[in-house]
Amino acid sequence: MEATIKENEIANAKQADELPLVRQKANLRAEKREIKGRIYDLQFDGLSAADFETAKQGIYEDYAKEEAAFKDNVAKTRAALDEKKAEIAEIKARFAAEIEKIKTSTENTTSPEELERAKRTYDALMEEENRSFEIELSSIKEEIASINLEAKEKVKELKNQYKEVKKTPMKRAEKASKLDSLKSEIYHVSGEADLKALSKEHEMKALIASHKEKAKTYKNDYDLVHDRMKTLLKNKRAEMKKALSPIKAEADSIRQNYTNVAPAWYRFGVWWRNWGVRFAERQKKAFTSWDGFKDWFVHNAVYLIILLLVIVTAASTPSWLNPATIIVIIKNTAALLPLSLGVAGCIVLAGTDLSLGRVWGLTALMSGILLGFGSTDGAVLPWTTTMPWIWILVVLVIVMAIGGFCGAFNGFFTAKFSIHPFIVTLASQLIIYGVILLLGDQMNFSVLYRDSTVQISTDYRDFVAGGFLIGQTKFEWYIFYAIILVGIMWFVWNKTKFGKSMFAVGCNPEAANVSGINSFKTIILTFMLAGILYGFGGFIYNPINGGAQLGTGQGGELDPITAAVIGGVSFTGGIGRISGVVLGSALLKIIDSCLLALGAGPAYINLVKGAIILIAVSLDMKKYVVKK
């Protein structure tokens, strides 16, 4: 029995060594959670107090052994990674010495006679190789043409027989049998010809690859004479790359295993390194070929235009480029983000939301009304002026619920009746504006503003637009609320089932339904989440702007949609990132700041924004067509 237990322990230890560290860590955590349960089970084993304590101590010791084994495996993995790094460094140092030796060698000069002889040899070899290659290539092409021609004639003959049998009077069963036989033979002949032709095409590809390899070898031999040093260096670097390739692959595998359990600073370093490598590869691809450059330009054209605008603004108005401008841009971006994050989800579904502005305006008005804001006749709802501070949070929930209801309304009609979101949200925009006008008529106001004598409205202002000073700069709370919202939405988009479903429905609703995703529910939830975010945007509107009016939110959907599109959220559906939405919102506010600094009026601001939307969507569609 003891021998069996010992064998099991050895097998488990061996298995733990073979497991990735992340799974070992998960098993260790599961074991730690199980300790209390195992100790609880001991009381039912009829043990004495001394035996119970011994067994309990044994459980803790077993866990301590497993923890020590895990830490030992982590240390071994790190040591193995360090060994691979040292091996890579050693190989690089050895090849660096050899390369330096080639550079300083005096044997790299070649006489004119040797150059001439090498040139003649190279030309003769290439002439013979090209002649042989052309003959073999022509032969294969002729065989392919012969196979296709023979199959075509045979199929034509069989089709004629098929027509004859079809015209000939005979028993139905006999005719059906003959027709099926001829049809099967036609398919067989066509398929067999395709297979033969495909085999020849593979042979032709192998011949072309072999020809290129031979040409490369002959060229390398000639270069060893013609430009000896350069060729030797090129060959030596290729040799080093080949020697390093398997070792780097092993090191990457070990690094990936270790990174899963490494400290946060190490994981960040690996992420930063990988990001740098990918960035360098993209730039190399972009600036080493015309096709790569065109692709890079298509992906970055909007950003280049904005960069040009920033340069022009900074050159013409030097005072614009200062920390105060940056702080203002950050504040304006924070105010825009709730709306941009909301509408981005609707665009991911290959739709849009034209009711955004009116939902935003409605929730801004409701926030003001419920928190003691008033017009010329005093507070719209006098009873709200005496409400306690906690009422602010209740109102926040109320206005987010109103926004969520409006969003669910849009999502329901979009999903239930398959109406395009453009039409649904256009209709709801008009309905909500009608509600706003009725609200103004019934409560007798057109403009809302804060009364400094009302405590609840002052608390409301401080809750949103209060903050703290760093030096002479004030950082309002709504900036941090926006940061929290970004984190929440990143989690929702990337780490939840709903987020994955949203992207799947945006890519292909039919395929999403087939794969078990409830498209109806996903569309409603996406629009409802957008409405909740509009509600939050409306809640923070009053303290930032000092109040609201019946026209608040008119055209308010334009900036959030523009920000999402600039940030890479595609109208084709299923494409978008939270980081892109944040970047797009910031860039849009940079554009506003630049145009105001240049003294542009509303007409020019609208012209520029419209042009940017058109360019961004056009480039997005171009990327989509290329991808298709």
Task: Kindly report, residue by residue over 121-156, the tens digit of the pLDDT.
Answer: 888 888 998 999 999 999 999 999 999 899 899 989
| 65 is a domain residue | no
Mean pLDDT value across residues 230-259: 86
In this predicted structure, what is the pLDDT of residue 347?
A: 94
In this predicted structure, what is the pLDDT of residue 612?
A: 80
Do residue 393 and residue 517 come from a single domain? yes
pTM of the model: 0.68
Does position 17 have pLDDT exceeding 50, yes or no? no
In this predicted structure, what is the pLDDT of residue 107?
A: 60
Does position 361 have pLDDT exceeding 90, yes or no? yes
481-520 as b/e, with b when 16 or more CB fall inside 10 Å? bbeebbeebbebbeeeeebebbbbbbbebeebeeeebebb
CATH assignment of the domain containing 580: 1.10.3470
Percent helix, strand, coil in the chain, to 5, is 80, 5, 15
Q: What is the distance in angstroms between the CA of the first residue and the CA of the last residue of the chain?
A: 65
Of 226, 255, 275, which one is at a domain's C-terminal end?
226
Does position 2 have pLDDT exceeding 50, yes or no? no
Q: How confident is the model at residue 110 (pLDDT cuts 50, 70, 90)?
A: low
* Cα angle: 40, vertex 42, 43; to 5 degrees: 80
In this predicted structure, what is the pLDDT of residue 626?
A: 55
Tens digits of residue pLDDT in 500-556: 999 999 988 888 888 889 999 999 999 999 999 999 999 999 999 988 999 999 988
Which residues, in sequence order, are CB contacts of 300 under 8 Å at separation 6+? Answer: none
| 23 is a domain residue | no
Mean pLDDT value across residues 156-177: 87
Neighbours of 140 (CB within 10 A): 16
Tens digits of residue pLDDT in 377-427: 788 888 988 899 999 999 999 999 999 999 999 999 999 998 999 999 999
In this predicted structure, what is the pLDDT of residue 1?
A: 36
CA 336 to CA 545: how far, in whole Å? 13
Does position 4 have pLDDT exceeding 60, yes or no? no
Tell me the three state secondary structure of residue 64: helix
pLDDT, the chain, mean:
87
In this predicted structure, what is the pLDDT of residue 6?
A: 42
| 278 is a domain residue | no
Could you list the residue range(s) of the whole structural domain that residue 563 is in?
317-627
CA 357 to CA 456: how far, in whole Å? 26
Positive or negative, the CA dihedral 290, 293, 299, 300 is negative
| 601 is a domain residue | yes
CA 471 to CA 84: how far, in whole Å? 49
Do residue 362 and residue 480 come from a single domain? yes
Of 200, 226, 252, which one is at a domain's C-terminal end?
226
In this predicted structure, what is the pLDDT of residue 338?
A: 96
Give residue for tokens 């630049």. 594
Q: How confident is the model at residue 41 (pLDDT cuts 50, 70, 90)?
A: confident
Mean pLDDT value across residues 231-236: 80
In this predicted structure, what is the pLDDT of residue 9?
A: 43
| 74 is a domain residue | no
Do residue 356 and residue 209 come from a single domain? no
The edge-to-edge listing of strands for the beta sheet with 374-375 is: 378-379, 374-375, 447-449, 547-549
Of 226, 246, 276, which one is at a domain's C-terminal end?
226
Tens digits of residue pLDDT in 308-351: 888 999 999 888 888 889 999 999 999 999 999 999 999 999 89
Contact 521, 528 (CB under 8 A): no
In 376-484, DSSP assigns E strands to 378-379, 447-449, 467-470, 473-476
* Cα angle: 136, vertex 139, 145; to 5 degrees: 145
| 610 is a domain residue | yes
Contact 279, 271 (CB under 8 A): no
Tell me the three state secondary structure of residue 58: helix
Report the domain count for the chain: 2
| 548 is a domain residue | yes
Does position 15 have pLDDT exceeding 60, yes or no? no
CA 394 to CA 391: how far, in whole Å? 5
Mean pLDDT value across residues 94-114: 75
| 355 is a domain residue | yes
Q: HSE on the CB side for 535, CA within 13 Å?
A: 23
Do residue 383 and residue 510 come from a single domain? yes
Positive or negative, the CA dihedral 242, 244, 250, 253 is negative
